[in-house]
Amino acid sequence: MKDPAQSDYVVGVVGAGAMGQGIIQVSVQGGMRCLILDAREGGAEEARQKIGARIDRLVEKGRVGEEDAEAAKGRMEIAADFADLDPCDAVVEAIFEEIEAKRDTFARIEAAVGPDCLIASNTSSIPIASIAQACERRGRVAGMHFFNPVPLMKLVEVIRAAETSDATVTALNTLGQRMGRTPVTVKDSPGFLVNMGGRAYTTEGLRIAHEGVATPAQIDAIMRDCWHFRMGPFELMDLTGIDVNYPVSRIIYDGYMQDPRIKTSPNHAAMFDAGLYGRKAGKGWYEYEGGKPLDRPSADYQAKGEPAPSVRLAEPNPSLEAFCADIGLSIGDAGPFVAAPIGEDATHVAVRTGIAHQALVCLDLSGDTTKRITAMTAPAADESALDMVAAAIARSGRSVTAIKDSPGFVGQRMCAMTANLGCYMAEIGLASPSDIDLAMQLGLNYPLGPLALAEDLGAGQALEILEQTHAITGEDRYRPTLWLKRRARLGLPVHTES
């Protein structure tokens, strides 16, 4: 097996669509000769021209020197058929997601290349072991899952199947590094790491909207402003395409024996069935024109009354006292009651404290409170109480998002679920805790990896949110992982390995 660091290393790419073109580009820019094979007549040459044009644009932007660009373009070669892949030291398959087509392709690659040539699939959802069945030398077969657009997305998942050799994993990690990517080694499993890990963020957003707790625009605004996610879950689904994320959600759900933690909701299926796929269709959770979003519904609550002159604390809470002082809101013996629960809903706060639920307004102070505050009330609450509290908050320059009753508000639920799924991936050995965090940040642009998010929430608080939500809803979806529970109970860092 040849060391990918050697200057004369040769890569083959089978399938010259969008993903294949990206893999070709990072290969030649990494200094490697690259053979391009595509089933469509003229497809390989068309890919070479497009990649060359992209490299030229990098020169125009000053990101690549002219000499380096010409050298990179010169390293692209057309393969007329599989036999032309004979010089390759590694071949990456990047054809469409159909298992029989991939097996046939792998068998033809193996027949054409030498005995030490690595063979990798860029599949995003098909188990590598099932593709490797077509090969005689399965130890050299693995996954090499890139993310679109490949030249911009630094992550590559190196997928170790049951029979993949250690030498193959090591070599593909080196190859990924030479391509300028950051490799993370992942166990062969449904959705691998990033697609599996991303289920919690989107499916919990869907569940909250399905319950009528908040609208997609409200959920997205909360996750952007209070938790620093670059995109809310509904914006993200519209970008990737509901025609993509709904089937992937079903594949992963079934692959994990229908674990409730990753179950999607009927509103997801309804969008898929209606063909409302997001940006590409002009309409998804939001509307688009020319791929650009049109005006979206406001996530801000417009208070109709004057700010409350004072509020009453439902129970002692130093964080809530400090917040009221920060916005200039007095705490006294009159006015609406306010609370800042962790994991509870307004109904349970009212029952537990004996306070009249009509006068209670719950505020989520667990995330960033400098731009937006989530306010929550129980059923049949007095709207004037919400108006007075919201007006006082708005006076401080903050936006208010008013939601219906929900254990853990919106942000607490979504962050705790994301953290819990990350802990589950660590628990089953999908990857190391640090690699899980790295992959989720690079692959999905999360502000923190899921285990780091648990640390940021506080392991004990993350556990409390899940346990409260589990108890209130009665759903196994919210059951905490043993990984999180044990580390929280023992006071250990969430990244602590066994």
Q: Give me the residues paired with residue 155 across strands.
A: 182
| Residue type present at position 246 | Y
Which of 4, 300, 344 has its CA nearest to residue 167? 4
470 is known as an active-site residue: no
148 is known as an active-site residue: no
Question: What are the φ and ψ backbone dihedral angles of 471, each rounded to 5 degrees?
Answer: -70, -40
Catalytic residue among 122, 173, 189, 195: 195
495 is known as an active-site residue: no
Which of 97, 192, 110 has its CA nearest to residue 144? 192
Distance (Å, whole) CA 453 – CA 294: 32
Quick check: 12 and 90 in contact, CB under 8 A?
yes
Catalytic residue among 93, 145, 366, 406: 145
409: left (phi over 0), alpha (psi -120 to 50) or beta: left
Where do the DSSP E strands lie in 130-181? 141-146, 155-160
Residue environment code for 42-81, b if the CB has 16+ CB neighbours within 10 A, otherwise e:
ebbeebbeebbeebeebeeeeebeeeebeebbebbbbbee
Catalytic residue among 27, 124, 189, 245: 124
Reported as half-sphere exposure (CB side, CA atoms, 13 A), residue 121 has a value of 35
Distance (Å, whole) CA 444 – CA 429: 20
* Sign, CA torsion 457/463/466/472: negative
Catalytic residue among 110, 121, 122, 157: 157
Q: Catalytic residue positions? A: 124, 145, 157, 195
